[in-house]
Amino acid sequence: MITVLSGGVGAARYLVGQVRATPPEQVAAVVNVADDMTLHGLRVSPDLDTVVYTLAGVVNPATGWGRDGETWNALDELRACGLDAWFALGDRDLGAHLFRTSLLARGLPLSEITARMAAARGLKCRVLPVSDDRIETRVTLASGDRTGAEVGFQEYFVKLGHEVAVSKVRFDGIEDARPGPGVLEAIEEAEAVVIAPSNPVVSIDPVLAVPGVREAVAARRDRSVAVSPIVAGAALKGPTARMLKELGSEADVASIARRYRDVVSALVIDEADAGRAGEVRAAGVRPVVAPAVMSSPEAAAALARRTVAAVIPPP
Ligand code: FO1
């Protein structure tokens, strides 16, 4: 089993490579749920949907989230009713949200619903929400006319276009959250645990912060490896580099190594960062230099092979 701790778009692209590099039945994605929210009465789970849609080959290729071939009639109707519909739920995507929300209302846990959605899409790998409990990322704004206000993650990310500075991130509900079914086992029994190239602050931290998860990964440190989401001082996607700096870290591979050193023994860094391998080593993490920009599924598969090989001893 190869277990991949995952956020949204970056992780989904890495997972496409992992299921090419490894039999998909032997891959488990443990996915962040702290970006989730309730909107128009619907339960939205962006990272779970991004992972499932991407692995199923039905994701919107232009955005990396949402469905391909999407139409927006329902959104247009909401706006026609006068609603400030800032979060774009497409007509096809709404189907998935109706399914998830109605089954949650019948008392099914998110893990069971996600397993059904993944199986219905023909996925052979496991997609495990890190928790069935509600965890909500809350962000304190540090610039603009709402400085000091705390908002939900999607309000910061989508409504405010992640253009405002942030001074604090916290995960509401995390202390009482329990790991979802199969999550700790997937970490304990894995041949390799991979931290995907996702935003460390808002995608990986809320996975590791679920009580028991960080400890389980740390116990497998020799078999755990991260893929740097930072290449040459910039994020592959989204506001990762800026968030790291705003919250007091550097946006470079050495800082990623320091952040993860208690849970991983190796860090995959891009060839562009080969010159900084010594700083990664000085942080107590083995650097592995490999092309880390996933420009195609083949490139993602090659990255997954190099990543897993970094912590699995040769036979
Ligand atoms: N991201 C945007 O930038 N704008 C949107 O309107 C938007 C809608 C949306 C709907 C469903 C979904 O699953 C994801 C959506 N996302 C949107 C992406 C989402 O905000 C991000 O993927 C994350 O939560 C960050 O990982």
3-state secondary structure 212-267: CHHHHHHHCHHHEEEECCEECCEECCCCHHHHHHHCCCCCCHHHHHHHHCCCCCEE
pLDDT digits (tens, 9 = 90+) for 132-156: 999 999 999 999 889 999 999 999 9
In this prediction, residue 238 carries a pLDDT of 83
Mean pLDDT of all residues in the chain?
A: 97
Residue-level pLDDT at 237: 75
**122 burial level (CB within 10 Å; 0-12, 13-18, 19+):** exposed
Q: Spell 280-307 as b/e; 16+ CB within 10 A means b.
A: beebebbbbbbebebeeeeebbbbbbbb
What the block records as the tokens of 40 is 């128009």
Q: So what's the pLDDT on residue 309? A: 97
Q: In the chain, what percentage of residues exceed pLDDT 90?
A: 96
Query: Looking at this protein, which amino acid is placed at residue 59?
Result: V
Q: What pLDDT is attached to residue 277?
A: 98
Q: Which residue's CA lies nearest to atom 3 of ligand 1?
A: 158
pLDDT band at 28 (very low <50, low <70, confident <90, very high): very high
Domains of the chain: 2-133+176-309 (3.40.50.10680)
CA of 21 to the centre of ligand 1 (A): 28
**What's the pLDDT score for residue 178?**
98
Question: Each residue of 159-205: pLDDT tens digit?
Answer: 999 989 999 999 999 999 999 999 999 999 999 999 999 999 999 99
Across 244-257, b (16+ Cβ under 10 Å) vs e yields bebeebebbbbbbb
What's the whole-number mean pLDDT along residues 291-304?
A: 97
pLDDT at 315: 75
C-beta 160 within 6 A of ligand 1: no
- Interatomic CA distance for residues 71 and 76, integer angstroms: 10
Atom of ligand 1 at shortest range from CA of 90: 10
Mutate to test the pocket of ligand 1, among 158, 160, 163, 205 (most ligand atoms within 8 A of CB): 158
Whether residue 229 is predicted with pLDDT greater than 80 in this model: the reply is yes
**How far is the C-alpha of 175 from the C-alpha of 193, rounded, in Å?**
23
Q: What is the pLDDT of residue 236?
A: 76
Residues 9-41 as b/e (b if ≥16 CB within 10 A, e otherwise) read bbbbbbbbbbbebbeeebbbbbbbbbbbbeeee
Cα-to-centroid distance, 74 and ligand 1 (Å): 17
Say if ligand 1 is within 6 A of residue 206 CB.
no
pLDDT at 9 over 80: yes
